[in-house]
Structure 1
Amino acid sequence: MKKSLGEKIFTIVNTVFLLCLCIVTIYPLYYVIVYSLNEGLDSLKGGLYLWPRELTLFNYEFVLGNGVVQNAYKITFGRTVLGTLLGLIVTTLTAYGLSFKKLPYRKQIMYIVLIPMLFNGGIIPYYIQLANLKLIDTFWVYVIPNMFNIWNMFVIMRFFSDIPTSLREAAVVDGASEMTIFMKVILPLSKPVLAAIGLFVAVYHWNDWYSGAFFINSTKLITVQTYLQRIFEANNMSLITSNSAIIAEAAVRESQTSQMTVTSVKMAAVVIGTLPILCVYPFVQKHFVKGMLIGSVKE
């Protein structure tokens, strides 16, 4: 079918707009990569747009050679894996129980679950609660408070509600227990939504700097994102405090070499902190898109 003039114009305008949107979205990250691969003092001259002028890996060698960064990566990976696993287990079990419409006191439980989603107690009561639970300055402050997410629970519960009850009834007739039904019937059918929610939870754990900044005092327990946050706060070397020992080391190294500046170290750290998520996302994208579309169309 031949396109009309209006359709051709729309296609051209839409294509140009999407290309511009891609450039605006991708170029900032590309610029960070280019800057991080260029010698620090040379970058201060400006004019870095498409590729490095003085190619070097020194910025990455410094960041990856820092013991604090290596430990921060271990903490971040451990938190992401354990937090995602426990988060999916707790959220999925809760969603499965509340997906039964005949569950006693289901309506009251839903109200109790919904209230914290609408009303927040504030950072000070939250800090006091974590302190009373002995979670401050421990690894578990990253995991335990984030084991349950109300919004994720509603998404999974909606998916469970759309599974035909005849499947569960057939399993009951065959003598399957509730746990068997959940493990061998419900979960295999729920892979798309679990992959989508798992990605959400993993990205949250990987990108969260807030918990480390407010609830962690020891540099041995900070995550990569908290490391980045402390770097970007230390714009002036004279303002670095004892809590920013990471940047203090950078200042010493900077005085010893002409290749590195604080900004170039920041850029390299940003790339290192972002790269793992960028590498994982393409492999789970199909599950992510399918999981988000589930329940959006009603028949």
Structure 2
Amino acid sequence: MAGKRNKIKRGFGEKSFRRVNTVFLFCLCLITIYPLYYIIVYSFNEGVDSLKGGLYFWPRIFTAFNYEYVLGNGSLQKAYLITIGRTVLGTLLGLIVTGITAYGFSFKDLPYRKKLMLVVLIPMLFNGGLIPYYIQLSNLKLVDTFWVYVIPGMFNIWNMFVMMKFFSEIPISLREAAVMDGAGEVRILLKVILPLSKPVLAAIGLFVAVYHWNDWYSGAFYVSSSKLLPVQTYLQRLFEADNLGLITTNSTIVAEAAARESQTSQMTVTSVKMAAVVIGTLPILCVYPFVQKHFVKGMLIGSVKE
């Protein structure tokens, strides 16, 4: 009888914990999501009306002109093309260069493997600093060019170690069977290794893509031409502006906005900034659901040793 009561008590305690845990996680999720939701609500509301406050769950005076104003900016359109180009090209080349290097290091009988590993490991532990890095980019003629966004990020040491660990755990019998069938190294890599490596490729690919999409630092320090600014650098400068005149400098939107003076007069710099935040954040958020099923599996297999 006492044992039955103990079971009932444990069952009640477990149910109570699950309920409390569910409520806590729901509140935590709400706290995390609501700021982004508030930004979306603010961006779809008239700017002057938003200054009155009281916006919590939906726009009071709905308008999409904030987005028209931002997307109609020729400078932002060019910045988007630069960012999309560097993200696609940088992610593709990053996976190729890092993946090939990791595949080579996954062979334990690689000649001079330990010495080469030491050469790769030193830059990971010791950084030369910003000024030597800038001088190196300048000597390579990469400063103020599109390739300053792509070439330096083609190889990542940490990503290489994750991919190397993953490749080394693929059964060697699969490679031996392919060799017996007459397959060369390139065919083994393309037909055997890569199909089995989708989880780690998705995980590393997401890391690299997010880096390229969110990077404003390179555009701010290594590029002086406004035609080569990525969207995040453009948005960073937009956030520092305190009036619409600074935001629309050298932009074709000025003439278009003048023809719609009634809507422009209801706009504020804050409402434009909110719309810009959504535009800069939403695309990369939409990518994650498509790689989510591979993401956790790829990271665990590539980094956990049993």
Give the structure-2-normalised TM-score.
Answer: 0.90
Deviation sequence 1:161-199 (CA, Å, 0-9, x none): 001111111111222111111111111111111011111
Query: Is 1:202 matched with 2:209?
Result: yes
The residue identity in structure 1 corresponding to 2:199 is P
Q: 1:31 aligns with which of 33, 38, 55?
A: 38
Deviation at 1:213, TM superposition (A): 0.8
Deviation at 1:296, TM superposition (A): 5.3
2:165/2:303 contact within 8 Å kept: no
1:58/1:259 contact within 8 Å kept: no
Q: 2:84 aligns with which of 74, 77, 81?
A: 77
Q: Give the equivalent residue in structure 2 for 1:14.
A: 21
Deviation at 1:235, TM superposition (A): 3.2
Deviation at 1:248, TM superposition (A): 11
Q: 1:247 to 1:19 in 2, by over 3 A?
A: farther
Cα distance in 1 between the residues matched to 2:14 and 2:170 = 41
SS in 2 for 1:294: helix
Q: Give the equivalent residue in structure 2 for 1:94.
A: 101
Query: Is 1:179 matched with 2:186?
Result: yes
Once the two structures are superposed, the pairs formed by residues 62-141 of structure 1 within 5 Å of their partners are: 62-141=69-148
Cα distance in 2 between the residues matched to 1:297 and 1:122 = 32
SS in 1 for 2:29: helix
Deviation at 1:246, TM superposition (A): 6.0
Deviation at 1:46, TM superposition (A): 0.9
Q: 1:235 to 1:269 in 2, by over 3 A?
A: same
Cα distance in 1 between the residues matched to 2:253 and 2:236 = 16
SS in 1 for 2:249: helix
Q: Give the equivalent residue in structure 1 for 2:3.
A: none
Cα distance in 2 between the residues matched to 1:34 and 1:220 = 31
Q: Which runs of 5+ in 2 are unaligned?
A: 1-6
Q: Which runs of 5+ in 1 are unaligned?
A: none
2:243/2:269 contact within 8 Å kept: no
Deviation at 1:271, TM superposition (A): 0.4
Q: Give the equivalent residue in structure 1 for 2:174.
A: 167
Query: Is 1:245 matched with 2:249?
Result: yes
The residue identity in structure 1 corresponding to 2:228 is L
Cα distance in 2 between the residues matched to 1:136 and 1:190 = 35
Cα distance in 2 between the residues matched to 1:48 and 1:145 = 44
Query: Is 1:142 matched with 2:146?
Result: no
Deviation at 1:249, TM superposition (A): 6.9
Cα distance in 2 between the residues matched to 1:298 and 1:137 = 43
The residue identity in structure 2 corresponding to 1:200 is F
Deviation at 1:201, TM superposition (A): 0.6
Deviation sequence 1:125-179 (CA, Å, 0-9, x none): 1111111111111100000000001111111000000011111111112221111
2:87/2:212 contact within 8 Å kept: yes
Query: Is 1:56 matched with 2:63?
Result: yes
Give the structure-1-normalised TM-score.
Answer: 0.93
The residue identity in structure 2 corresponding to 1:92 is G
Q: Give the equivalent residue in structure 2 for 1:41.
A: 48
Cα distance in 2 between the residues matched to 1:293 and 1:50 = 38
The residue identity in structure 1 corresponding to 2:157 is I
Cα distance in 2 between the residues matched to 1:152 and 1:175 = 31
The residue identity in structure 2 corresponding to 1:245 is T
Q: 1:88 to 1:72 in 2, by over 3 A?
A: same
1:91/1:153 contact within 8 Å kept: yes
SS in 2 for 1:245: coil
SS in 2 for 1:4: helix
Cα distance in 1 between the residues matched to 2:214 and 2:102 = 25
Cα distance in 1 between the residues matched to 2:288 and 2:221 = 28
Query: Is 1:281 matched with 2:288?
Result: yes
How many positions carry a matched residue from both structures? 296
Query: Is 1:261 matched with 2:268?
Result: yes
Query: Identity of paired residues, percent?
Result: 76
Deviation sequence 1:78-133 (CA, Å, 0-9, x none): 11110000000000000000001111111111111111111111111111111111
Q: 1:276 to 1:246 in 2, by over 3 A?
A: farther
The residue identity in structure 1 corresponding to 2:56 is Y
Cα distance in 1 between the residues matched to 2:128 and 2:253 = 39
